[in-house]
Copies of this chain bind each other. A is one copy, B any other.
């Protein structure tokens, strides 16, 4: 019952760590502190052979033994059984991981940018030597989502994933929702508190979420999803008024990564997109507060599943990295080749114009008879069917129309919104938001 668990028989595996930032220093610390426990779980002693850093004297979140630090990553990688990459960025991470894989080492990485852009190259290199690439920490921080998608749901068909995969934007939107605050104010506060970077672009413009969406969609649909096929919109255009109006209608605004299996012209295809969307307050995703993440998965047989937890944080992410290290070690001990990436399905990825969702369109219109009929006429001509309309006076001869539509394609919707904007009865298109999860 304790196969491979006889300490006297433990092999020692050499582990190289590249990077000692917020996550890396925690990984090193846990490897050093919990060595015996990890050895029992992995069936092998995990020897931290060294930690490659750029600057030997940089300040660290956790104090690390000076003798483990090195600036010579190339030499450290040679002769390692497992290489953990936590530097981030494309280079030198890509070159060093390829060197590790080519030498037969298993690789663990949390580098979503690298995976979303050079994933296939890494997986190919791993395949050639029978090694494996582990990246649980790259998709949703500490939340175990890779193994559920790759293994637990391997006998099922994923229909849709809706993920809150960026903690910074969820923190901002959640505070805007609970406090009625403006985007700029909450962002400034989030930066002060360390929830947002000094340059928040990667988070608030949805780049980080788009990388994660590409990784999740690749796994869920067994298809290589290049980052440039992911439609991406950020949350900088979301105002306190839009949040209030969403709330009045029973919704909350969340930045969602949506990965969806759709049929276009009778061809089974997928759509991958990131944008702020309206989510009904009763939906489990609406209850994801603060900087937490959650991934909601709909599968044909399993039905609806949700995975919830911390999406970021040094020690939280370190937990996911160490789980991967143990898996890699078990593979070394058990023998056999790693589970390759399955891209056999290779479904076509369609542009957003083909996607159908429901929409909420908010217009400022002239407050005079016949306006609603004109607006309804334009919608109807554009093949956009109206589900609900709420009209309210704005004062000064203008009114506000909040229109909830039935499902329509993005192509139909955006053409129709253009015609509405050009119409003489519409003063202004205040907002157009998709509704997801219904």
Chain B residues with CB under 8 Å of A299's CB are: 319
Q: Which of B305, B335, B338, B344 contacts A41 (CB 8 A)?
A: B344
Residue of B whose beta carbon sits closest to that of A310? B303
Q: Which of B143, B155, B315, B342 contacts A301 (CB 8 A)?
A: B315
Are B345 and A3 in contact (CB-based, < 8 A)? no
CB distance from A1 to the nearest CB of B (A): 5
Chain B contacts for A30, CB-based, 8 A: 155, 301
Q: Which residues of B contact A148 (CB under 8 A)?
A: 144, 147-148
Q: Which residues of B contact A324 (CB under 8 A)?
A: 155
Given A3-B340, A148-B144, do A155 and B322 touch, yes or no (CB 8 Å)?
Answer: yes
CA gap between A222 and B156 in the complex, in Å = 29
Instruction: Assess whether B40 is in contact with A303, with CB atoms less than 8 Å apart.
Output: no
**Contacting pair B340 A155 (CB below 8 A):** no
Structural contact, B152 and A147, CB atoms closer than 8 A:
yes
* Whole-angstrom distance between the Cβ of A85 and the nearest chain B Cβ: 16
Q: Which of A89-97, A119-127, A168-176 contacts B (4 or more CB under 8 A)?
A: A119-127
CB distance from A221 to the nearest CB of B (A): 11
The answer to whether A301 and B319 touch across the interface, beta carbons within 8 angstroms, is yes
Q: Are B38 and A155 in contact (CB under 8 A)?
A: yes
Q: Which of B3, B301, B322, B344 contacts A156 (CB 8 A)?
A: B322
Binding-face segment, A63-71, A205-213, A241-249, A325-333 = A325-333
Chain B residues with CB under 8 A of A345: 37, 40
8 Å CB contact of A3 from B1, B318, B320, B337: B337
0/1 string, A253-279, CB within 8 A of B gives 1: 000000000000000000000000000
Give min CB distance, A314 to chain B, whole Å: 9
What sequence of 0s and 1s flags, for each residue 33-52 of chain A, a beta carbon within 8 Å of any chain B beta carbon? 01001101111000000000
Of all chain B residues, the one with the shortest Cβ separation from A134 is B151
Q: Do A144 and B143 touch across chains, with their CB atoms under 8 A apart?
A: no
Most chain B beta carbons < 10 A, residue from A40, A144, A299: A144
Closest CB-CB distance, A429 to chain B, in whole Å? 35
Q: How far is the CA of A310 from the CA of B319 in the complex (A)?
A: 26
| A337: chain B residues within 8 A (beta carbon) | 3, 334-335
Q: Which residues of chain B are within 8 angstroms of A336 by Cβ–Cβ distance?
A: 331, 334-336
Give 7 A-B contacts (CB < 8 Å), ordered by A residue: A1-B120, A5-B340, A143-B305, A151-B323, A300-B319, A301-B315, A335-B335
Closest 10 CB pairs of A and B: A155-B322, A336-B336, A144-B152, A3-B340, A301-B319, A302-B319, A154-B326, A144-B148, A305-B309, A335-B336
